[in-house]
Amino acid sequence: MVQKAKILLVDDRPENLLALEAILSALDQTLVRASSGEEALKALLTDDFAVILLDVQMPGMDGFETAAHIKRRERTRDIPIIFLTAINHGPHHTFRGYAAGAVDYISKPFDPWVLRAKVSVFVDLYMKNCQLREQAALLRLQLEQGEQGGGGRESAGVLAELSARLAAVEEQAEALTKQLDESADAAAVATAAHLERKLTGLRRALDALEPGADHSGPSLPPQA
């Protein structure tokens, strides 16, 4: 069973959270509510999220301050943040949002289809990265067992399974990259490129373990 991605919705108004849930329910992912910046930071201490939808105007800790805290934490600094705001103070206000670490800045009322499409891209990227980390962990285990003298049919079978799984992730990543045309978010394109680089490195490490390859000392793949 494929684990669902978590999406963090941060807004002090319950009706806005309800609206976001209605828009994003079609993605069939886990939607987590937070009614304040403090509540959002607490949720981020224990759970991993694919993307954060963050309201700018909130009493107490506003969206900008919340984003600053998120970007300062090593665990959460790479989570994409989409700012949502009911006001538009012009380019300076928008620039402040991007400066705070947002990958997008959307003014209300927004097009539900556009918002859902943007969130979907980051969910897909998150899921591919999760799959890649899983394959990297399996490959590292195989490499470590090989260094301890493991081999034979069992080793060959594990390598074949790893290769098949990696091929599936590569195919999905390639399809996702093709969806990211020139109009896509720069952050999404950059994340997809990073994913492709990690896939290439993992494929090279796996190929080095194939029968007939040079086994003089394959290096462990980097942690995803």
Q: What is the pLDDT of residue 136?
A: 73
pLDDT value for 131: 80
Give the pLDDT of the chain (224 residues) as one tens digit per residue.
Answer: 558 999 999 999 999 999 999 999 999 999 999 999 999 999 999 999 999 999 988 998 989 899 999 999 988 988 999 988 876 655 556 666 666 667 788 888 888 998 999 899 899 888 888 887 777 777 767 666 665 555 555 556 666 766 776 676 667 667 666 666 554 566 666 666 666 776 776 677 667 666 555 544 444 444 44
The neighbouring-strand residues paired with 83 are 54, 105
pLDDT of residue 220: 44
- Asked if residue 29 lies in contact with residue 4, where contact means CB atoms within 8 angstroms, the answer is yes
pLDDT of residue 28: 94
pTM beyond 0.85, yes or no = no
**CB–CB of 6/48 below 8 Å?**
yes
Q: What pLDDT, on a 0 to 100 scale, did the predictor assign at position 66?
A: 93
Nearest to 169 by CA among 202, 205, 123: 202
Domains (range + CATH), the chain:
6-110 (3.40.50.2300), 117-207 (1.20.58)
What angle do the packed helices 152-179 and 112-147 form, to 10 degrees?
160
Ramachandran region of residue 10, left (φ > 0), alpha (ψ -120 to 50) or beta?
beta
Q: Please give the structure tokens belonging to residue 52.
A: 């954060």
Q: Specify the long-range contacts of residues 60-64, CB closer than 8 Å, at least 24 apart.
A: 60/36, 61/36, 61/37, 62/37, 63/10, 63/37, 63/97, 63/100, 64/96, 64/97, 64/100
